[in-house]
Amino acid sequence: MSLPTPQPGILDIAAYVGGESSVKGVERIYKLSSNEGALGPSPKAQAALVATAGKLHRYPDGGSTELRKAIAARYGLDPTTIVCGAGSDELIGLLVKAYAGPGDEVLYSEHGFLMYGIYAKGCSAVPVTAPERNLCADVDALLAAVTDKTKLVFVTNPSNPTGTYTSAEELARLRAALPSHVLLVIDAAYAEYVDRNDYTTGLDLAQNTPNTVMLRTFSKLHALGGARVGWGVFPPAIADVMNRLRSPFNLTSSSQAAARAAIEDVEFQALCKTHNDYWLPWMKAELKALGLHTTDSVANFVLVQFPADGAHSAKAAHAFLQNRGLIVRPVGSYGLPEWLRITIGTGEENQMVIAALKDFLGAGS
């Protein structure tokens, strides 16, 4: 008997495992493993979502029209260049599906976001990674890895899990040097947190070149990961492809309403940003004072290095924190087994992490 066989590459996928959200035997949990906004969603977004309950028998607006208009108004964009997805994950998947086929190559940095490779394999395409320099994307290494088969290049800016970023100048240099048929996707999931003069979300390239896309999400600063809302700015021909390919009703009416209220709540966005502006440098300084090395993250998380093995390894630290209900993210699946990624939480959570790490380091010495 012959059984249905999945397409080549699919059984090579290691299924994506999100940040843990519970610990056996530990009642009170502090989840700092998925880079979710520390303050939760805007109260206005929550109210808007609840208000949709009575209309759930109706299909949503398939084009997310009001949401796209609200995003366009917030950032001064043309709504026809915006496409929304069920999380930016969906948009990443659609781009790979649209532009990469069997044997084609999808290129990204060594420690890039796992979903690029997963979606590539799902299309029988080949994920290719380029080495990084000091845990930063290296434009020269990316360019050196381009072949005749390269169809898409992903740059995560700032990157996850390293938190480092690629400057506007370097991104422009990458775009200019890539062959024009190669689609450059700038995944700016953490853009709202960045405060560096030489940073760009990639919007300028998405608006001014026919082969660059910028992706954003409501899962981080807007803290609507549970609603699954992502969006992007696409050159017209690529927006057209996305609209042909996406599911007809890819965002629920509740998600559209919540995201719309969130993008309009500029005051709450500023509050979330101010929170991160205070606690990100605080965390870095406290970790440094404990003798721990971090990357220069500009996002809402820190990446912390531990000794390769022994009592103070990342694995031991992860277990120690977990016993106190503090869930952080091991990043061995990103090729960084000595590191842990810790999301910036509430003030109380951040102080608990530092106190726990102090005890952890003290306990083993």
**Smallest distance, Å, CB 362 to ligand PMP?**
33
Binders of ligand PMP among residues 95 to 124 (CB under 6 A) are 113
Helix (H, G, I), strand (E, B) or coil at 78: coil
Cite the DSSP H helix spans in 209-252.
236-245
339 scored as a contact of ligand PMP (CB under 6 A): no
**Smallest distance, Å, CB 108 to ligand PMP?**
10
Residue 153 · residue 142 · CB < 8 Å: yes
CA gap 38, 349 in Å, rounded = 9
Q: Which is nearer to ligand PMP, 18 or 248 (CB)?
A: 18
Angle between helices 266-289 and 347-364 (to 10 degrees): 10
**Smallest distance, Å, CB 4 to ligand PMP?**
29
Cite the DSSP H helix spans in 221-296.
236-245, 253-264, 266-289
41 scored as a contact of ligand PMP (CB under 6 A): no
**Smallest distance, Å, CB 131 to ligand PMP?**
19
Q: Which is nearer to ligand PMP, 30 or 113 (CB)?
A: 113
**Smallest distance, Å, CB 175 to ligand PMP?**
19
Q: How many CB atoms within 10 Å of residue 11?
A: 9
160 scored as a contact of ligand PMP (CB under 6 A): yes
Q: How far is CA 43 from CA 38, 195, 203, in A?
A: 14, 25, 28
Out of 87, 117, 163, 232, the only residue in the binding site for ligand PMP (CB under 6 A) is 87
CA gap 343, 324 in Å, rounded = 16
189 scored as a contact of ligand PMP (CB under 6 A): yes
DSSP 54: G
Burial annotation 303-328 (CB, 10 A radius, 16+ → b, else e)? bbbbeeeeebbbebbbebbbebbbbb
**Smallest distance, Å, CB 289 to ligand PMP?**
28
Out of 42, 129, 212, 219, the only residue in the binding site for ligand PMP (CB under 6 A) is 219
217 scored as a contact of ligand PMP (CB under 6 A): yes
Residue 312 · residue 231 · CB < 8 Å: no
Out of 36, 104, 105, 187, the only residue in the binding site for ligand PMP (CB under 6 A) is 187
CA gap 270, 171 in Å, rounded = 27
89 scored as a contact of ligand PMP (CB under 6 A): yes
DSSP 19: P
Q: How far is CA 254 from CA 47, 60, 239, in A?
A: 10, 8, 23
Q: Which is nearer to ligand PMP, 88 or 297 (CB)?
A: 88
156 scored as a contact of ligand PMP (CB under 6 A): yes
Region near ligand PMP per CB under 6 A, out of 51-59, 84-92, 94-102, 276-284: 84-92
Binding track, positions 343-362, relative to ligand PMP; x by CB under 6 A: --------------------
**Smallest distance, Å, CB 75 to ligand PMP?**
17
Residue 161 · residue 295 · CB < 8 Å: no
Where does this chain bind ligand PMP (CB under 6 A)? 87-89, 113, 156, 160, 187, 189, 217, 219, 225, 230
